[in-house]
């Protein structure tokens, strides 16, 4: 149990060594191979002590990259507020050891400036985020989604100006389509504010950035790639092997629906967990190793509803890359037979 007001980080927090950190594209930044996301479990419906213990456990174990967004909660803004409280109480002396990311683009406040990719929304939202998190600047600021209605140049110029204002050190884009991504990478590079990383979803159940060419385009441009939901919201962590636990995301949240757990998927997940056990690994670790073995992936951003869960994800960060045969074998497990 942590005493928040007398928190002193473990002297061993970097004991995992260099193998735990990976270079983000062709930048100067190293990110932990396993980073922590605050989408769920940090809002105002969760006991503050639990959220704090996950954050402090992360930092104590070398996880120094925290991924937030203006709207993470519930309620929107609450995850940034929780983070801000932990900053003030415990992590303030360690600010220079932290890499804090936030985003803007999804619905945040009422009226025409409360979402999407206008300069007005991005700048106002970042100011609000800094206040909630008790920070002077964020390390990384993303546009959270592609806005088909705002001129790309307006969104991208706002990112450039945000870096020039000192409110963010680096910028990134999340879930942009391929053509717009290529345009953004060029635009930002030409203005000497190269895109640090692209955030997209890669996991054993969803390989879209691999098949669409996003990952290779980003990698070739020297931009990093961080993968969100690498455990498919818990499906790949063995969470649903014995049915649907009462305290699970599937019970609580609309983002993971019961209908997704088809008999076919249950069978595949059971085989995957059995294989992990035969290899002496947790399913979470094996699933994360598959993502981390994709050329161009810098870091996986995991979620956790307890410090123990996060602890199970960490060994993947320092484990060797899987071989081509191992990768293919795992992909095979989840393939849908042709004609099905």
Ligand X SMILES: NC(=O)c1ccc[n+]([C@@H]2O[C@H](COP(=O)([O-])OP(=O)(O)OC[C@H]3O[C@@H](n4cnc5c(N)ncnc54)[C@H](OP(=O)(O)O)[C@@H]3O)[C@@H](O)[C@H]2O)c1
Binding site for ligand X (CB under 6 A): 37-41, 67, 144, 174-175, 199, 228-234, 237-239, 248-249, 284, 301-305, 309, 312-313
* Nearest-approach distance from CB 254 to ligand X, in angstroms: 13
Nearer to ligand X, 73 or 234 (CB): 234
Nearer to ligand X, 269 or 337 (CB): 269
Distance of CA 252 to CAs 92, 256, 261, 284, Å? 32, 9, 15, 21
Distance CA 148, CA 156 (A): 13
Structure tokens of 88?
Answer: 């003030």
Distance CA 167, CA 174 (A): 19
Q: What is the largest CA-CA distance in the chain?
A: 61
Distance CA 189, CA 106 (A): 25
Q: Which residue has the tokens 């995992």?
A: 16
Name the 3-class secondary structure at 229.
coil
* Nearest-approach distance from CB 312 to ligand X, in angstroms: 4
Give DSSP secondary structure letters for 238-262. Answer: TTTTTS--TTSHHHH-TTS-GGG--
* Nearest-approach distance from CB 206 to ligand X, in angstroms: 10
* Nearest-approach distance from CB 226 to ligand X, in angstroms: 8
The residues, ordered by sequence, that sit 6+ positions from 34 with a Cβ below 8 Å of its Cβ are 63, 288, 299, 300, 302, 313, 314, 316, 317
Distance CA 231, CA 302 (A): 7
Nearer to ligand X, 81 or 174 (CB): 174
Nearer to ligand X, 93 or 148 (CB): 148
* Nearest-approach distance from CB 287 to ligand X, in angstroms: 8
Our separate counts of H helices and E strands in the chain read 13, 10
Distance CA 144, CA 329 (A): 33
Nearer to ligand X, 118 or 227 (CB): 227
* Nearest-approach distance from CB 58 to ligand X, in angstroms: 12
Nearer to ligand X, 181 or 309 (CB): 309
* Nearest-approach distance from CB 11 to ligand X, in angstroms: 26
Distance CA 340, CA 20 (A): 40
Nearer to ligand X, 6 or 36 (CB): 36
Nearer to ligand X, 158 or 256 (CB): 256
Task: For the beta carbon of residue 291, count every other beta carbon within 10 angstroms.
Answer: 22
* Nearest-approach distance from CB 40 to ligand X, in angstroms: 5
């Amino acid at each position: 149990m942590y005493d928040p007001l007398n928190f002193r980080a473990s002297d061993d927090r970097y004991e995992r060594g260099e193998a735990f950190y990976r270079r983000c594209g062709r930048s100067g930044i190293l990110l932990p191979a396993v980073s922590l996301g605050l989408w769920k479990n940090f809002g105002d419906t969760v006991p503050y002590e639990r959220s704090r213990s996950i954050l402090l456990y992360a930092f104590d174990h070398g996880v120094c990259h925290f991924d937030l967004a203006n709207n993470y909660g519930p309620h929107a803004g609450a995850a940034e507020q929780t983070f801000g409280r932990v900053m003030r109480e415990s992590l303030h002396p360690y600010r220079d050891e932290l890499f804090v990311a936030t985003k803007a683009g999804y619905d945040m406040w009422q009226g025409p400036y409360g979402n999407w990719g206008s300069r007005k929304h991005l700048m106002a939202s970042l100011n609000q985020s800094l206040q909630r998190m008790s920070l002077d600047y964020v390390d990384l600021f993303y546009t959270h989604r592609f806005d088909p209605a705002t001129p790309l140049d307006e969104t991208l110029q706002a990112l450039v100006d945000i870096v020039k204002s000192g409110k963010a050190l680096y910028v990134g884009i999340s879930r942009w389509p391929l053509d717009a991504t290529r345009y953004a990478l060029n635009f930002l590079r030409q203005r000497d504010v190269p895109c640090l990383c692209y955030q997209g979803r890669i996991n054993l159940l969803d390989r879209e950035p691999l098949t669409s060419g996003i990952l290779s385009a980003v990698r070739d441009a020297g931009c990093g790639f961080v993968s969100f939901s690498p455990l498919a919201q818990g499906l790949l962590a063995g969470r649903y092997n014995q049915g649907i636990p009462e305290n699970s995301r599937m019970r609580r949240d609309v983002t993971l629906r019961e209908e997704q757990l088809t008999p076919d998927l249950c069978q595949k997940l059971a085989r995957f967990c059995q294989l992990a056990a035969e290899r002496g690994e947790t399913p979470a670790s094996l699933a994360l190793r598959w993502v981390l073995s994709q050329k161009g992936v810098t870091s996986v951003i995991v979620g956790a509803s307890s410090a123990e869960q996060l602890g199970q994800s960490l060994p993947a960060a320092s484990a060797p890359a899987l071989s081509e045969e191992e990768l293919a074998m795992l992909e095979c497990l989840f393939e849908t037979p042709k004609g099905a």
